[in-house]
Amino acid sequence: MFEKLKNALRIRKSDTTGQNLILRNGRLHLDIISMGRYLFGNLRLLVFGAIVAMTMTGLILCLVSDKYRSQATILPSGKTENLSLLKEMAGLAGFGIEGNESSSVLYPDILSSRQIKEAVINYRYSFGNPVQTEMTLKEYFDTSVNEHLLRKLESITSIDLDKSTGLITISVETKYPELSQAIVRRYLAELEDYNMYRRRSSARERVVYLERELAQRETELRQAEDDLEQYQMANRNWNMTSDPEILSNLNRKKREIMAKSETYLFLRNQYDLAKLEVQKDIPIVRVLDNPSLPLVKSGPQRLLITLLSGAIGVGIMSLFLIILCIFRNSREAVPGIAGMPVTARRTILETEEVNR
């Protein structure tokens, strides 16, 4: 077998015209035609390299588990500002909070955030029918290092935003079809939870702040009204008096009450509007396509990978043969034989080969 391989690797020194394919006139020449003829002459070795590469790749792919991809599509959410009529009815025009822009633009960033990923990782999934299987992604990835888990989850997750339509596609690929579907569902649930309870925190803080300010202003207004009432009771003839000091104090207290009343009414309007904003600012995740249960594997593409490995094997074997050809011919480039007849050059080269 080794003798056959050795003979197959032996450089062919003459073509159909009796001239050397690589060594011409004692000098080394490289051209595509010569290389093509040389490689075609070693076609069996190229096929052998392809078969070896494809066989090894096939054996490795047999050890790789099938993967199943589940996918869901989210519709874009338009602007949620639609309270102009309520503002006019409540007399709140001009005091409003500006409406938010389309919240779905941020969905890919929210889904890719560390907070959402950690929630998806720590959730315990139950899947399988009829036998139920429970596991976390820590068990699936067989690691408890948080950074490794985040990277592995990112490697099996794909989140895409179609800028022309606004559609958001999220997909997950695992070894189990039901697990892939369950992870996509968990992503959607975490997104909904974020929108409902965490994304609206700033609006709630505004309501809390206005409640606190409103209570304080109401207390100050009542205190000012009580002061005016007590002053009037202390000066029972205040409505008929001409004492400039009493009249001045009464006017000052009335102006103070008027200013505090205007401030209180302004804050009250702001508070009512803020409560309307909180009620309407509930981003809803509108799912176009629910997470699918994949029945056909999405990978690996064994046939395609095997064919590519065969092509790579042919390329590697071709490179090996060309390098070997150049090395052999460079050794055969004996000085002083340039210009000799073909028969004489061949005799000298054969003699050198025997001596070696």
Residue-wise pLDDT for 258-299, tens only, equals 999 999 999 999 888 888 777 666 667 888 889 988 888 887
175 and 73, same structural domain?
yes
Q: Is residue 160 in a domain?
A: yes
Q: How many domains does the chain have?
A: 3
322 and 235, same structural domain?
no
Q: What is the reported pLDDT for 118?
A: 94
Residue 330 or residue 142, greater confidence: 142
Mean per-residue pLDDT, 13-30: 46
**Cα-Cα end-to-end distance for the chain:** 23
Q: Is-above-0.85 flag for pTM?
A: no
Q: Is the pLDDT of residue 178 over 80?
A: yes
Q: Is residue 293 in a domain?
A: no
Rounded Cα gap, residues 351 and 28, in angstroms? 19
- Amino acid letter, 107: Y
Q: Is residue 334 in a domain?
A: yes
Distance of CA 312 to the CA centre of its chain: 31
75 and 187, same structural domain?
yes
Confidence band (pLDDT; 50, 70, 90) for 116?
very high
Q: In what order do the strands lie in the sheet with 157-161?
A: 157-161, 168-174, 68-74, 287-289
Q: What is the reported pLDDT for 280?
A: 66
Last residue of a domain, one of 200, 220, 246: 200
Q: Is residue 287 in a domain?
A: no
Torsion of CA 278, 75, 124, 109, to 10 degrees: -70
Mean per-residue pLDDT, 37-66: 84
Q: Is the pLDDT of residue 253 over 80?
A: yes
Q: Is the pLDDT of residue 129 over 50?
A: yes
250 and 145, same structural domain?
no
| Contact of 291 with 177, CB cutoff 8 Å | no
Q: What is the reported pLDDT for 146?
A: 92
192 and 72, same structural domain?
yes
Last residue of a domain, one of 248, 280, 312: 280
- Ramachandran angles phi, psi of 10, nearest 5°: -65, 135
73 and 57, same structural domain?
no
Q: Is the pLDDT of residue 334 over 60?
A: no
Confidence band (pLDDT; 50, 70, 90) for 247?
confident
Rounded Cα gap, residues 237 and 283, in angstroms? 61
181 and 109, same structural domain?
yes
Q: Which domain, by its residues, includes 266?
A: 202-280
Q: Is residue 217 in a domain?
A: yes
Q: Is the pLDDT of residue 173 over 90?
A: yes
Last residue of a domain, one of 200, 226, 253: 200
111 and 182, same structural domain?
yes
Q: What is the reported pLDDT for 89?
A: 45
Rounded Cα gap, residues 61 and 297, in angstroms? 14
194 and 119, same structural domain?
yes
Confidence band (pLDDT; 50, 70, 90) for 343?
low
111 and 184, same structural domain?
yes
Q: Is residue 88 in a domain?
A: no
Q: What is the reported pLDDT for 104?
A: 75
104 and 185, same structural domain?
yes
Q: Is residue 251 in a domain?
A: yes
Q: Is residue 194 in a domain?
A: yes
104 and 196, same structural domain?
yes
Range with the lowest mean pLDDT among 92-96, 193-197, 229-233, 319-323?
92-96
